[in-house]
Amino acid sequence: MKIDISQKLPRDFYLNDTLTVARDLLGKIFVRKTDETILAAKIVETEAYIGAVDESAHSYNGKTKRNEVMFREGGHLYVYFTYGMYYCANVVTEAEGTGNAALLRAMEPLEGVDLFAQNRFGKTELSEKEKINLLNGPAKICMAFGIDKEKNGVDLLGDEIFILDAPPVKKSEITVSERIGISKSKELPWRFYLANSKFISRR
């Protein structure tokens, strides 16, 4: 896959309201680039988290040392540790001080599949099920991309981790539902996914 840096999403994209950003991230290309490798995947599932009204948002009770990155200007990567063993990555949205983000829930592998496989399963020969399961969950994404707490706060306008633009997805191709894996504010319809993708985390 040829990576065209000129197609990197601009800051203005991330400064839109959180629900718009979460939905518009679908179909965009998430990239991690190093001197040796390029890892790239299409975003197929996201969830919005809005601190002012959302009890499941880490920012609901205000800024802390843990969630400080959520309150930065849109376009930063907020990485948190959960269940004592996994990392999850979020795209910070809106203006500085807002405390909102979109969780990256699932992706379709495009480039660097062997390294994804090695990072996730410790091997490169995968079954069809394992290929589908490479990036179909927030913790799986971080494991496959090698994203940990060291990447918390990375500016997505930089040259290591960024998101490339892609043609917008039609509304008819997007399913909206309640978020999953949470207990508070569960009724909010803030999960977005590509209806026909086999790479989403859950139907």
Q: How far apart are CA 160 and CA 103, in angstroms?
A: 19
How does pLDDT run across 31-83, given as a tens digit for each residue?
Answer: 999 888 999 999 999 999 999 899 999 999 989 988 999 999 999 999 999 87
Q: How far apart are CA 48 and CA 133, in angstroms?
A: 22
* Cβ count near 139 (within 10 Å): 14
Q: Kindly report the CATH number assigned to the domain that includes residue 130.
A: 3.10.300.10
Position 99 scores a pLDDT of 96
Position 6 scores a pLDDT of 79
Which phi and psi angles does 58 have, rounded to 5°?
Answer: -60, -20
Is 200 among the domain residues? no
Side chain identity at residue 51, one-letter code: G
CB 43 within 8 A of CB 107: yes
Domain extent at residue 163: 5-194
Integer angstrom CA distances of residue 41 from 15, 32, 58, 108? 22, 9, 26, 5
Position 1 scores a pLDDT of 65
Number of domains in the chain: 1
Is 203 among the domain residues? no
Residue positions counted in the chain: 203
Is 117 among the domain residues? yes
How does pLDDT run across 178-203, given as a tens digit for each residue?
Answer: 999 888 998 899 999 999 999 999 87
Closest CA to 19 of 196, 194, 191: 191
Average pLDDT over residues 137-153: 96
pLDDT for residue 151 is more than 80: yes
Is 92 among the domain residues? yes
Is 201 among the domain residues? no
